[in-house]
Amino acid sequence: MKTIHITQWFPAAGSLKYFLQKNNLHKEHTVYTYLDDLSIGPLRNMGTAAGLQYRKEFFDVLFTEAELPDHFIVDLEKELEKSWLQPEAFEDYDKIVVWHGNNARERMLFQLCCKRLSGKKLHAVNASHYKTESGYEMRTLSEYPINMIQQPFEEIAPVDADTATRYAKEWSLLADTDYILRIFENNEAKNEEADYFDRTILSHCTNEMMQAARIAGTVMSTCGQLVSDTYIFFRIRQLINNQILECEGDMKGIRFFKIRLAQ
C-alpha cells in the first residue's frame, strides 16, 4: 500500500522522513512538503488565476517589507502555484495522510485537504495531543523528538465523510472573505484583523532602543499562536511606517536595527 503524508514546511517533513527511514518504512511511505502558510494572506478564489495572483501580490509586499532575499520570493511563488492541491497529483497513492495540529496554519491545511482531497483515501492525525517528559504540549509535528513520532503515527485514522464535509465548509467560510490573517482559538481557526499582533508587539517595546529581532522572538514565544517571524517583522515595519515605533540602524534586515516606542 502506497501512502503519502502531507506535512507543513521542511522541519516537519524532515523529521517524518527520518522517522520513516529509521523504521524501514520509506519505501511504502512518501512525504509531501506543503510550503504555503495558509494562516496569512488572502484566500478568496485561491483556485483561480486571479485569486492566485492576488495571493502572490500579498506575499510580494510581505517579503519586501520583511527584507527577504529575492530568490526566496521567487521560490515561494513556485510553491504557491501548487497550493491548491490538485487531486490528480495524489491519484497514485492508496492513502493520503494529513498531519495537522492545534494552530491556524495546519488547521487551514487540513480544511483545504478536506475540500480538495476528500474521499476514502483521506486520513489524518492531530499531532497536538502529546507531551514531552517535561510536560510541554507539542503544537506541531516539527516540535517532536524523533523518538516520539511513533505515538501520533499509530493514531493515523480515516477522515469520515461527515468530518470532511464539516471542515471543507469551514474552509469556505474562512476563505471567502478579505481577511489576511487567521489565528487558532477555542479549537478552531478564525479570521482576525491584520493588526492582531500589534498590541503584543507594543507591549514588549519600551522607551529604550531594543533589538527588533529580540522583540519579534519574544512576541512569537508569548502570543499563544504559531505565527511566522516574517509576519511579525511585517507588522513591526508597519508600526514604524505609521510612526508608532521609532527605529535606528540598517532597516535592510531585522537583525540590524533597533526599535522603541515613538517619543
Residue 164: is its pLDDT beyond 70? yes
Percent of the chain's residues with pLDDT above 90? 80
With cell 488547521, the residue in question is 107
The phi, psi pair for 228, rounded to 5°, reads -75, 150
Confidence of residue 72 (pLDDT cuts 50, 70, 90): low
Q: What is the mean pLDDT of residues 142-166?
A: 95
Domain 198-261 adopts which CATH fold?
Arc Repressor Mutant, subunit A (1.10.10)
Q: By mean pLDDT, which of 13-17, 45-49, 186-190 is the weakest?
A: 45-49
What is 3-175's CATH number? 3.40.50
The CATH 1.10.10 domain(s) of the chain lie at: 198-261
18-32 pLDDT tens trace: 999 999 999 999 999
Residue 75: is its pLDDT beyond 60? yes
Q: What is the mean pLDDT of residues 54-65?
A: 87
207-251 pLDDT tens trace: 999 999 999 999 999 999 999 999 999 999 999 999 999 999 887
Distance, CA of 204 to CA of 218 (rounded, Å)? 8
Q: What is the pLDDT of residue 255?
A: 77
Nearest to 99, CA basis, from 124, 129, 120, 117? 124
Q: What is the mean pLDDT of residues 131-149?
A: 88
166-209 pLDDT tens trace: 999 999 999 999 999 999 999 999 999 999 999 999 999 999 99
Residue 54: is its pLDDT beyond 90? yes
Distance, CA of 138 to CA of 46 (rounded, Å)? 30
Q: Where are the alpha helices (DSSP H) in the chain?
A: 9-22, 49-65, 70-80, 104-116, 150-153, 161-175, 198-203, 212-222, 229-241
Residue 257: is its pLDDT beyond 80? yes
| CB proximity list for 14: less than 8 A, separation 6 or greater | none
Residue 39: is its pLDDT beyond 80? yes
Average pLDDT of every residue of the chain: 92
The CATH 3.40.50 domain(s) of the chain lie at: 3-175
105, 12 contact by CB (below 8 A):
no
